[in-house]
Structure 1
Amino acid sequence: MSLKNSLENAEDNWLISYADMMTLLLFLFIILYAMAVQKEGANQIPAASAAPAASAASQAADQSSTGETAAYYYIDKNSSAAGTASKSSSSSKSAAAKTAAGKSTASKSSSTKKVSTAAKGSAGKKPTYNEVESFVESNSLKGTVSVQQVETGIVFDIQAEVLFDEGSSQLRPESYTVLDKIGKYIGSLSNDIIIAGHTDNQPVDTGNYQSNWELSCDRATKVLRYFTDTEKLAPQRFQAVGYGGYRPIADNGTAGGRQQNRRVEVIVVEVP
């Protein structure tokens, strides 16, 4: 009898193991389900909070397309105070935008008037070629000064030998009369003036200048300073440039050509 009971008990032991396994599986499924529910809830929260931001971004894009600039704030719809603040902020921004637009329009109008007035003042008297040629002849400058009409304006072309000794940038006393007459004439104008120095293609013999670049620049500057310092013309109207021997008007292969290339140009800039 004892042996029989022992055998029966051994046959029932598998039920205990099976029950334990089923219990463990149940706990496992419960844990997995809880984790899945928690993860799904976490994913839904950012999506819900992103909706207002997406709406605000859409509004910003619409405003940007109309050329307006605005700041956007997220306000809780359940708060009546927030709604009032939003309306107040929108009204103040609209008023500020209108004020800024008014100021901008007034500023542009004022600037346009100033530019127009400045343009009229800078144009001043517009000399013609015949007028300048007549001035040169009536002031006994013919043969010393020639007149050219170029795209930039009208040019007083002065031979360098009248103004300077060879290789020098110091004005000769004989040049003062010529410069005085030209200075009086351009002083009656309000056009900008360019002083351009030119040389021939021969190397500089003196040790004062490394090349014709420096010599031509210094000569142009000396003439400019005579107009501004001696004739008391407005310095802001003037600029000086030096081209060395790189813009000849005659053949440098002859003495006569080189003499023509050594020159200083006083250019009366035409205002369109």
Structure 2
Amino acid sequence: MSRRKKKHDDDHMDESWLIPYADLLTLLLALFIVLYASSSVDAEKFEELSQVFSEIFTGGTGMMDFPSPVAPQQSSDQEEKEGAANNDESDKEDAKKLAFEKDQEELKEIQKKVNQYIKTNELEAQFVTKLTKEGLLLTIRDNVLFDSGSATVQVNDTNVAKELSKLLEMNPPRNIIISGHTDNVPISNAEYESNWELSVMRAVNFMKIILDNPNLKPEWFSAKGFGEFEPAADNSTAEGRGKNRRVEVLILPRVSPE
């Protein structure tokens, strides 16, 4: 009886090894999962992770002593807000650029009208236009409008100012600056003590004739006098001094280029 029982015990195999085997398989599965997840991290972040783990295992430094090697991702809402802000700024810049280009085209059209008037009246030697970053500039030689040393517009030339005023009718209106300039030869008469005063009064008197046009309003205009201090040419020659004695009409842009 005892021999039969002993044989039965020998035939039954010990299965306790299955437990550590199952644990090993679980650890291997976890390892493969970690490796797969790490494969989706870019090389730079993976290198940072490797360095952290190396420091932990070789130097005994705790994980909490290191900053996160992976930068926190911005929320989708924040990214959308930043994207919308960038788009708004870009749209504003594009709109401003288009407005400036349209404004420049309008100034070119005004320049064509003025140039046509100059050509029709054969005034090319006395009038010249130029489109600058400051606006459309019309330059008039002073001998077209004034006698030497005088700020009174010659009677025969008042029609020139009146015709020019019609060309300044714009819708919507623009701001206009009229400025007077002289050469550097000192003035010697009882009416004006300096070229500065002469240049100011020439600009004012010319502007008064322009504003006889009822379609133009004074608040759109301003007058300046620069005397001899903004020469357009060299004052050492008669030709240069002639270019410096001038009246300028500056039609301002509505949109700044910046």
Q: What TM-score, normalized by structure 1, do the two folds share?
A: 0.51
1:215 aligns with 2:190: no
Give the drift of 1:165.
0.7
2:115 alignment partner in structure 1: 133
Give the drift of 1:130.
4.3
Match of 1:247 among 227, 230, 245: 230
Deviations 1:89-127 (A, max 9, x none): xxxxxxxxxxxxxxxxxxxxxxxxxxxxxx9xxx7x922
1:148 aligns with 2:147: no
Match runs of 1:36-185 below 5 Å: 126-128=106-108, 129-185=111-167
Q: CA RMSD in A?
A: 2.1
Match runs of 1:195-234 below 5 Å: 195-228=178-211, 230-232=212-214, 233-234=216-217
Unaligned runs of 5+ in 2: 1-98
Q: Partners of 1:177 and 1:188 in 2: how far apart?
A: 20
Deviations 1:109-150 (A, max 9, x none): xxxxxxxxxx9xxx7x92214454334223433222111222
1:260 alignment partner in structure 2: 243
Give the drift of 1:178.
1.4
Moved over 6 A (4+): none
Unaligned runs of 5+ in 1: 1-118
Contact 1:141 1:178 survives alignment (8 Å): no
Identity %: 35
- 3-state SS of the aligned residue for 2:177? strand
Contact 1:196 1:264 survives alignment (8 Å): yes
- 3-state SS of the aligned residue for 1:174? helix
Q: What TM-score, normalized by structure 2, do the two folds share?
A: 0.54
Match of 1:187 among 152, 164, 169: 169
Q: Partners of 2:168 and 2:233 in 1: how far apart?
A: 27
What amino acid does structure 1 have at the position aligned with 2:107? P
Match of 1:271 among 243, 254, 258: 254
Contact 1:162 1:174 survives alignment (8 Å): no
Larger helix proportion, structure 1 or 2?
Answer: 1
Structure (1 or 2) with the larger CA radius of gyration: 1
1:25 alignment partner in structure 2: none
